[in-house]
Structure 1
Amino acid sequence: MNEKPGLLKNYKIGVLAGGSSSEREISLKSGEAVFRAFQETGLNVVFIDVKEHDFSFQIDRSGIDAAFIALHGRFGEDGTVQKILEEKNIYYTGSDPESSAQALDKLASKKRFRDEGIRIPGYRLVRAGEDISCSDIRVPCVAKPRYEGSSLGLSIVLSKDRIRTAVDKAAEFGEEIIMEEFVPGREITVGVLDGAPLPVVEIVTADGIYDYGAKYQSDDTEYVVPAGLNEVEYRRAQEAGLKAHAALGCRGVSRVDMRLSDKGEIFVLEVNTIPGLTERSLLPMAAKASGMDFSQLCVKMLYGAFTES
């Protein structure tokens, strides 16, 4: 690696985590892991548990020069934090406000992917409390909130009598719900770091559903890195990751979630501009498979704040 942590020691770094979104606990775990990595590397780093109502003052009091954003969900991933940091002339990791907002909004990102010729599953937007006609929603399908990450509120609907239950579950996290065609096949993801794809990761769950429990609680979830795809499928997955990353104007790092259908077709599901950095997170797994340990990954991401801002 060309990045040398010593070059960063002249800067005060703030790791931003926590917040009040539904993903607070995951964000804290990510932020604490990054904070420890920077401490071990010898950087001048502080941990900031973000309070949205007081965030501007928190930043002013901290005296930081750059922010490593480990905030998941709204406020952290919707462009709000990024905009505030730009107004204060503070370097920060990850995508700019517009790209962040577009990626968190599953409806906006799907429209963008479609415009760019990226294959996506069919979908429909419904609203909480809406009188849903099951006749025009095909099953199996996936119900998920328009604006959440970490698979919060996600359900796989296998029969029409379960549609209302799935919509109500997703509605706990927002009034608008995406009903998405379920693509039979394999769950894969591609990390993009500084414009290059990381090794493809395949996720294998006990029941075929990669929801919040499978991500963060189950001991039965398996990860195959690099994924056991054939050469053509592997290349297409990485190409799709790069194309989706570019379509939203992302910078630095992202993680692109996909399905590989039984027919060998790649369907892009969504782009995460602030991927998890916990011990169970996919991006560090992919980085490790490419020869990069966790501290090196974090330092490389931090360098992006200075080179791409």
Structure 2
Amino acid sequence: MTTVAVLMGGWSPEREVSLVSGKACAEGLRDGGHTVIEYDVKRDLRALVDFLRPAGGGGPDVVFNAMHGKYGEDGCIQGVLEILAVPYTHSGVLASAIAMDKPMARHVFTSIGIRVALGKVVERRSLASGDPMPRPYVVKPIDQGSSVGVHIVREGDNLSVVEAAEAQFGERVLIEQFVPGRELTVAIMADKAVAVTELRPRTRFYDYEAKYTDGVTEHLVPAPIPAEVYEKAKEWALMAHQALGCTGLTRADLRWDDSKPGTDGLVVLELNTQPGMTPLSLAPEQAKWAGISWSQLMTWMVEHARRPS
């Protein structure tokens, strides 16, 4: 019987989401017949090491990483697990670090022919001097997930308010041209695209609230879009996953401007190496649509854990 340690919590802005993900994953793992230990990660490396590799032996066989955000999905916790030679779910150090660094991930995507929204990195304080590109455009922290700190700047919006809100995330921000149209997402399991979901938020855009509040966003799977757009979204999601060297489960987020012909309006926004695993999350929903139950998905992820040498 496999003993699985579910790491959750952490101290990023996504802590609460991580706790929900972790609890749900632990339940699914128990339903799948695994022995599960839940661990709320604090900023105490010694305590974490003692938990994973106790002096008397008997630590977990596998770590299920349910942490989100900085330090949980940017290669940091992955590095600790590599040093301790503890198998763990999701992607490794390099893939996690590049995917979390949005500007770097954009460079990788464009180098292999994946279209991204027109964008650039600017100093946050430069926003006080005026718009870096014509409105509407999107302002994002360069290394956060779950749409934390994302703002769409439209006509009439106060730019100084946006600049002040971004201050907690660092000195640089990513500016991207806003792509109108439809929100799409694709889950990847190993080397296979599962499906395409269209997201129809009832808020102004698919922000943190829309992702984690029940009833705020309609999920349509499979997405009711033309076959060529559907297949291109799956193709680019898989290309992004492979180009970054990801393993296990990932999810790519895309926008499609349906006013343009064919796939001309399709762009990849980012790749999530540790997609949400809450009851409202998209990757588990796609797996369910494909006939994979919650406990089966959890077991699959443990079976496909990375094995540090």
TM-score by length of 1: 0.92
- Report matched runs for 1:127-146 at 5 Å: 127-130=123-126, 132-134=128-130, 136-146=132-142
How far apart are residue 135 of structure 1 and its match?
5.1
Identity of aligned residues (%): 39
Gaps of 5+ in 1: 1-8
Query: How many equivalent residue pairs?
Result: 300
Alignment of 1:162-241 (within 5 A): 162-217=158-213, 219-241=215-237
Q: Structure 2 counterpart of 1:69, which letter?
A: N
Q: Is the 8 A contact 1:33 1:277 kept in 2?
A: yes
Q: Distance in 2 between matches of 1:107 and 1:201?
A: 25
Matched position secondary structure for 1:280: coil
Distance 2:23 2:241 in 1: 26
Residue 4 of structure 1 is matched in structure 2 by: none
Which position in structure 1 is the counterpart of 2:257? Answer: 261
Compared CA separation, residues 93 and 137, structure 1 to 2 (3 A): same
3-state SS of the aligned residue for 1:223? Answer: strand
Alignment of 1:109 onto 2:105: yes
How far the C-alpha of 1:198 sits from its partner, in A, is 0.9
In the superposition, the TM-score normalised over structure 2's length comes to 0.92
Match among 64, 69, 77 for residue 68 of structure 1: 64
Match of 1:44 among 35, 39, 44: 35
Distance 1:103 1:170 in 2: 20
Q: Quick check: 1:171–1:177 contact (8 Å CA) kept in 2? A: no
Please tell me whether the aligned partners of residues 21 and 75 of structure 1 are also in contact (alpha carbons under 8 angstroms): yes
Structure 1 partner of 2:19:
28
Q: State whether residues 147 and 174 of structure 1, in contact with CA within 8 Å, keep that contact through their aligned partners in structure 2.
A: no
RMSD: 1.8
Residue 50 of structure 2 aligns with which residue? 57
CA distance in 1 between counterparts of 2:230 and 2:289 reads 15
Aligned counterparts of 1:74 and 1:136: Cα–Cα separation in 2: 26
Distance across 2 between alignment mates of 1:220 and 1:93: 30
Q: SS where residue 169 of structure 2 aligns?
A: coil
Higher alpha-carbon deviation: 201-210 or 163-172: 163-172
Determine if contact 1:139/1:160 at 8 Å carries over to the other structure: no
Whichever residue aligns with residue 106 of structure 2, its letter is: K
**Is this contact kept in 2: 1:252–1:308, CA < 8 A?**
no
Please give the secondary structure, in 1, of the residue aligned with 2:229.
helix
Structure 1 residues 178-225: Cα deviation after superposition (integer angstroms, max 9, x where no partner): 111111110000000011001111100114400011111262311101
What code does the residue aligned with 2:272 have? N
Query: How far, CA to CA, are the matches of 2:299 and 2:308 in structure 1?
Result: 14
Aligned-pair distance for 1:246?
Answer: 1.2
1:135 & 1:175 partners in 2: Cα distance? 17
Query: Partner of 1:5 in structure 2?
Result: none
Deviations along 1:51-97, whole A, 9 cap, x unmatched?
A: 23232233223711211111000111111111111111111111110
Deviations 1:88-133 (A, max 9, x none): 1111111110110000111111111121221000112122323544
Q: CA deviation at 1:172?
A: 2.5
Q: Which residue identity lines up with residue 31 of structure 2 in the other structure?
A: E
Q: Is the 8 A contact 2:91 2:306 kept in 1?
A: no
SS at match of 2:297: helix
Structure 2 gap segments, 5+ residues each: none
Q: Is the 8 A contact 2:92 2:306 kept in 1?
A: no
